[in-house]
Structure 1
Amino acid sequence: MSLIADVVGLVFLLIIILIFVALSFRVVREWERAVVLRLGRILAMKGPGIIFLIPFVDKPLVVDLRVRTVDIPPQTTITRDNVTVSIDAVVYYKVVDPMKAVSMVANYNMAVLNISQTSLRDIIGQMELDEVLSKREEINKRLQEILDSYTEAWGVKVTAVTVRDIKLSPDLLTAIAKQAEAERLRRAKVILSEGERQAATILAEASKSYQNNPMAIQIRFLETLSDISQRGGLVVVVPAGKGIYPTLATSMALANRLKKTEGSAKKEGS
């Protein structure tokens, strides 16, 4: 009986040792770190790989070091020019100091989310609607700076912030569309007026050139007649005064003299 009792005792002792050994070792993955608490006090940060713990004395708190994301739900706020908008964003962050992340904040995930919501509303409240719609990069930068100022003490680093969507009321969207259309019409009229001004300037310079060179205006006139003659079904009446077109006037005078000479010859023959 004593031999059986000794065997049972040895087996029981072996089982206890195996359980003790199993509880003494812990595997920490590559992207994790274990902050070890010994009797409630921070002992050290261990990992990755196999770490040794004293059962019932050491307690490991495993912290993930990978980049995490938090979705900021749509925040309805009023801009500086009293326009209601709804805006949401995404925050990317990671733990850079596991000891601070464990000891300085109870839940850094929820803390990042809450401070992101309040900071986003504060930033939008300080901007006008046009700035909110056109300066997303500035909003991202300002929000990241504010979050970094808070999370640095928690051992958390905000790597990026992205504004995802900005929603406006249907009435406001209609008003913005009308404003954009009016702006396009204004630009079209300005461009047309600028073209007319440039054309008038060029024509004024051309008139001075024609004034100094009368033959140039005649050549231009003949080119214009050539262009008009290509259109069928037109009757063109061309004035040819001496002061305006001397070459054409001289030609017409010679033609009239020939007609008068032919008329007088016919009378003498009869």
Structure 2
Amino acid sequence: MEIATYILVPFILFALTGLKVMNEYERGVRFRLGNYSGVVNPGLRYIIPVIDTMQKVDLRVKAVDVPSQDAMTKDNVSVNVNAVLYYKISDAKNAIIEVEDFKFAVSQLAQTTMRDIVGETTLDRLLSERESVSLRIKELVDKASDPWGIKVNSVELKDILLPSDMKRVIAKEAEAEREKRAVIIKAEGETIASVNLSKAAKTLAGNKGALHLRTLQTLNDIASDQNNTIVLALPLEILESFRGKNK
């Protein structure tokens, strides 16, 4: 009896090592004698010790920092760009079997793709259309990593660093653009004011009562100023009579 106990207890303990708990966000890729034998789903699962091995895969979305890359834009401007990539495992089997280290592979793929896309893009577009450039990188990385069971959710460009001399050039261009807009706005305002003044003159010329009222308002404004200006206000009828005599 004692011999049986000595044999049975270690055997039971050894057998219990095959019990595995899989969380909801995990999948297990099981190999039996080195051959793929299926995906282990969440819950309390059992794998045969020694005969079976299992690698767990986390299906949650992960963020990968894409290190800064030196690249040359389409218009030959040197820039330094970095990004962050969000991805998740869509096929646990392929993520384990098709690539040795899927996280490292995705990071390397994102770096090379980012450099290629920056090289196809002008500096103006890179700065003004950051979202569309990020989307293009995401599409290419997603397509290339699909055989690995990887789904790329998004790519976001973080920093686009320029050389100091290029920063000064861009600052000067921005200042010139602001001055240009200010001149245009001032010219448009003067044009509108001249049009309104012309309309007002025509209106007053056709309405003597309105012209008298405007004259009185002007005199009132002059009187409110603290100065020694003397203004002689002559009725319009007198001026018109003189004009008639001259004719």
Q: Normalising by structure 1, what TM-score?
A: 0.83
Give CA deviations for 1:184-234 in whole Å, capped at 9, x if unaligned.
Answer: 111111111001111111112222222322343232122111110111222
The range that moved more, 46-55 or 104-113, is: 46-55
Computing the radius of gyration from Cα coordinates, the structure with the larger value is: 1
Distance in 1 between residues matched to 2:201 and 2:24, nearest whole Å: 84
Match of 1:136 among 130, 135, 145: 130
Distance in 2 between residues matched to 1:193 and 1:208, nearest whole Å: 23
Distance in 2 between residues matched to 1:213 and 1:49, nearest whole Å: 93
Letter in 2 for 1:53: I
Distance in 1 between residues matched to 2:53 and 2:132, nearest whole Å: 44
| Residue 24 (structure 1) aligns with | 18
Q: Aligned with 1:56: secondary structure?
A: coil
**Contact kept in structure 1, 2:15 and 2:48, CA below 8 Å:** no
| Residue 67 (structure 2) aligns with | 73
* CA apart distance, 1:11: 3.7
| Structure 2 unaligned spans of 5+ | 242-247
Q: Normalising by structure 2, what TM-score?
A: 0.90
Aligned length: 241
Structure 1 residue 157 corresponds to structure 2 residue 156: no
Structure 1 residue 246 corresponds to structure 2 residue 201: no
Distance in 1 between residues matched to 2:203 and 2:79, nearest whole Å: 61
Q: Aligned with 2:100: secondary structure?
A: coil
Within-5 A mapping of 1:81-230: 81-230=75-224
Letter in 1 for 2:47: L
| Residue 39 (structure 2) aligns with | 45
CA RMSD of aligned residues (A): 2.0
Percent identical pairs in the alignment equals 38
| Residue 52 (structure 2) aligns with | 58
Give CA deviations for 1:141-182 in whole Å, capped at 9, x if unaligned.
Answer: 111111111122211111121111111122222221121111
Letter in 2 for 1:124: V
Letter in 2 for 1:125: G
Letter in 2 for 1:246: E
| Structure 1 unaligned spans of 5+ | 1-5, 251-270
* CA apart distance, 1:18: 2.3
